[in-house]
Structure 1
Amino acid sequence: MSGERTSWARAVAERELAAPLPRRWAHTRGVAARAVRLGGILGRRSRLLVRAALLHDVGYAPRLAVTGFHPLDGARFLRDAHGADGQLTRLVANHSFALLEAEERGLREVLEAEFPLLEDRLLADALVWCDMTTTPDGIPTTAEARVAEILGRYGAESVVGRFIRRASPEIFAAVARVEAASAVQPR
């Protein structure tokens, strides 16, 4: 059953991202590959991490972009169109400290009400590590280089730029916790 759910997640992500957003699909595949590396520290939760890694950016798909805030759009799509479980939708909705970006966009209360944060800190941190140590092209990198890339791409004063500057201490701390727990290195 778990393997089937992972296959489902891969199929959904590929269907929504591969053709319209091939670079986003490359990033997604890289994030999922990083998630597989963390199986040892998460045990049975590792399959959930891989599914979340595959689906974390599905909300970027043009046909799903309702609010323009991809974590919320993706989580709503997974919940409403696919009946995805609450843990998965909450991970997608809150990946990589999305709550801080939601605040920048005036959507914090909406995100918190629909998709409360998970209490499983290691699982949430693991998704941060996977996302924030993978380039847009799906190549492993450091969290510092990834944050710099995001700032360069969006600009420091954009909504995303303001968010990533605010979130970077949290991102770096989450990455450090995962690397300490798993003895993995960013590359």
Structure 2
Amino acid sequence: MNDPTVEWAARVAEAELRRPLPRRWAHTRGVAGRAAEVESVVGPDAALLIAAAMLHDVGYAPRLATTGFHPLDGARFLRDEHGADERLVRLVANHSFAFLEAEERGLREELSSEFPLLEEPQLVDALVYCDMTTTPDGGRTNAEERVAEILGRYGDDSLVGRFIHRAAPEIFGAVGRVEAALAAQPR
């Protein structure tokens, strides 16, 4: 997609992630590729979805990790350093049911007051789908395997493990809705 917002998002994500976090950069590129594949689900918001996919994990960049909660750190960076579009920033802040992890971290009030949930279910679901059907190395997977991989990496009793257990039903629901929308499209 030739869109200035997508091109800007790709430059920002690459600058922040490629060298310090090459695996996270591979995941990011994979998520953005998935977004390009499912852009028809969100119609005129395709560029926004792809840009959010490119930037969803930017908060992992070491220089940006102030709270240690990447959705919040990334959204603050995009808002404060780049003056990014509010919808884009809110998608990054709340991607993949981040509010549930924010609760585990004691940051729910901060997240929701600064970056309220975006009330655009198709867009929110599409970003979840892209993130949760992409491996850490940028390959394809399904949501069940992705959730299992996250649990395996962090452990059931970790903060992330507790979050992913709580979020799994929501993740599977979002992925299922996107898959149904894709299946309903004419071929």
Instruction: Provide TM-score, normalisation by structure 2.
Output: 0.96
Shift of residue 106, structure 1, vs aligned partner: 0.1
Tell me, yes or no, if structure 1 residue 161 matches structure 2 residue 129: no
Residue 182 of structure 2 aligns with which residue?
A: 182
**Offset, 1:4:** 1.2
Alpha-carbon offset, residue 127 of structure 1? 0.2
Residue number in structure 1 paired with 2:36: 36
Deviations 1:28-47 (A, max 9, x none): 00000000011212111010
- Partner of residue 68, structure 1: 68
DSSP 3-state at the match of 2:42: helix
What is the match of residue 56 of structure 1? 56
Structure 1: where are the runs of 5+ without partners? none
CA displacement, residues 143-164 of structure 1 (integer Å, 9 cap, x when unaligned): 0000000000001111100000
Give the unaligned 5+ runs of structure 2. none
Quick one: percent identity of the two aligned structures?
71
Summarize deviations over 1:9-60 as a string: whole Å, max 9, x none.
0000000000000000000000000000112121110100000000000000
Counterpart amino acid of residue 24 in structure 2: R
Amino acid corresponding to residue 30 of structure 2 in structure 1: G
Residue 131 of structure 1 is matched in structure 2 by 131
Q: Give 1:10-29 correspondences, 5 Å limit.
A: 10-29=10-29
User: Which residue number in structure 1 is paired with residue 98 of structure 2?
Assistant: 98
Q: Which amino acid aligns with 1:132?
A: M
Q: Structure 1: which 4+ aligned runs deviate by more than 4 Å?
A: none
Q: Give the match for residue 114 of structure 2.
A: 114
2:8 alignment partner, SS class:
helix
CA distance in 2, matches of 1:129, 1:106: 26
Number of residue-to-residue matches in the alignment: 183
Deviations 1:79-127 (A, max 9, x none): 0000001100000000000000000000000000000001100100000
| Cα RMSD for the two superposed structures | 1.0
